[in-house]
Every structure is written in structure tokens, then in C-alpha cells.
Amino acid sequence: MSKPKVLFLCTGNSARSQMAEGLLRALAGEYFEIFSAGTEPKGSILPEVEEAMREVGIDISLQWSKSVMEYMGKVNFGYVVTVCSDAEENCPAVFLNMGMHEHWPFDDPAKFSGDDETRLTSTRRVRDQIEDRLRLWLKEQNITPHDYRQM
């Protein structure tokens, strides 16, 4: 039996959707095939996002920023989760009509201002909010997440 495919979608695919992809892999990766994409990909992941994830033991350095169009007509997702309002409004309807669609809006780390430490602190907050929402979603799926921070 194949695993359901999950797509996390945001605008730039440089922060929120990348964190969600990495976190779901750590929490319950054996249950899903996990993807992320952007409606207007930036081409790279923000350094503070990589650092915030590294701090909790998740390496996303092999992930990359990609367009949702890479999946158009190629992948059928069981779950599509938009993590920003822009993606919710601009996502090709074909993806929003696949499987289960949920909208989980989070602040955009790409828009945080201030010095490096201030942006990192704000990014950590978003990372933790995404993890909390993923844990709730997994509970709704009757899946017990791994306590990856103890691994």
C-alpha cells in the first residue's frame, strides 16, 4: 500500500513550507511521502530557517525551493496544506481540489526584520507553531508522532 502524499504550499518555498516538510518527516515520515513547494519560489531556503531547524536536530540542507508547477499533472496529493494566505489565494485550483485541503496560516520569516538574532528568534516561534499544528493534525490522523528532539 502506498503512503499518502502531503504537499505543504506557501509563496516562496523558502521558510514555512520547508519547515513543515522537515518537521513532518521527523515526526511521522514513515506514514507519508512529504513535499513542499511555492507559488513563486525564491530559489533558496532562508539561512535562519536552516539554523532554526538545525537547533532541533533537523537537517533540511538537502531540501530546495521549488515551484508547485513541478507537480502539476505528475503527482496526486492526498493532503494539500497551504501555510500562507497568498498561497491559498494563488494556488492552482487543481491542487486545492485534491484529497484533503487545509489552510494553516503562519507568519512569514521572509518578512521578519531586525538583526540576525531577532529574525532567528521570530523564526523559532514560527517553527514551534508549525510543529504544534502538525502534532495536532497527526493526532487527528490517529498517528503518534515521534519525539524526535530526544533521538
Catalytic annotation, residues? 10, 84, 91
Contact 99, 80 (CB under 8 A): yes
What number of helices (H) and strands (E) belong to the chain?
5, 4
Half-sphere exposure of 20 (CA within 13 A, CB side): 34
d(C-alpha 61, C-alpha 143), whole Å = 27
| 44, 103 contact by CB (below 8 A) | no
Q: Which residue has the cell 492526498?
A: 78
First to last CA, the chain: 28
